[in-house]
Amino acid sequence: MERLVGKKAPSFRMSAVTGDGKDFINVSLDDYKDKWLVMFFYPLDFTFVCPTEITAFSKKLEAFKKEGADILAVSCDSIYSHQAWIKNGLGSVGFPIASDITRSVSKEYGILIEEEGIPLRGLFIIDPSGGLKYSVVHDLNVGRSVDETLRVLKAFKTGGLCPIDWQEGEENL
């Protein structure tokens, strides 16, 4: 797999549903120019671990906004599946959920399980100039830490060297 961190993030354009499930929109990497973007992929709607991650990110949305970051969730389900899930189980969230129904974005970001046609749990932090700063990818059964994602975002924003377990307010190296 080709390294993505430290390079320009792969461009994307996808259909999405708004977090309240009311409208369909298009999202692209260009929409997030001059902002930080936390983009996370999950395998499928109507599953068990995925709603815990999506709702946890939504609960912390204001903390991400305070840092100048937007959030975008992505899976290979259709926008209609996303909409049905929001209205019949997941509930409203504070950010769009995009449809990578062609699996092309998952493939570009190196997280597609081709034999299953679904993405791994991949999370990417993209800086305001479109540089991919952070990537964490793991198997399907374990959710990610929203608090760790926020900590890493804050660390990148310092522009300095941040040692292990660095926390906001601590000195950089």
Name 63's Cβ contacts closer than 8 Å, sequence gap at least 6.
Answer: 150
Q: What is the CA radius of gyration of the chain?
A: 15
Q: What is the dihedral of CA 14, 86, 125, 101, to 10 degrees?
A: -30
Please give the positions annotated as active site: 50
- Nearest CA among 116, 74, 29 for reference residue 82: 74
Q: Within 10 Å of residue 12's Cβ, how many Cβ atoms?
A: 20
Amino acid at 150: L
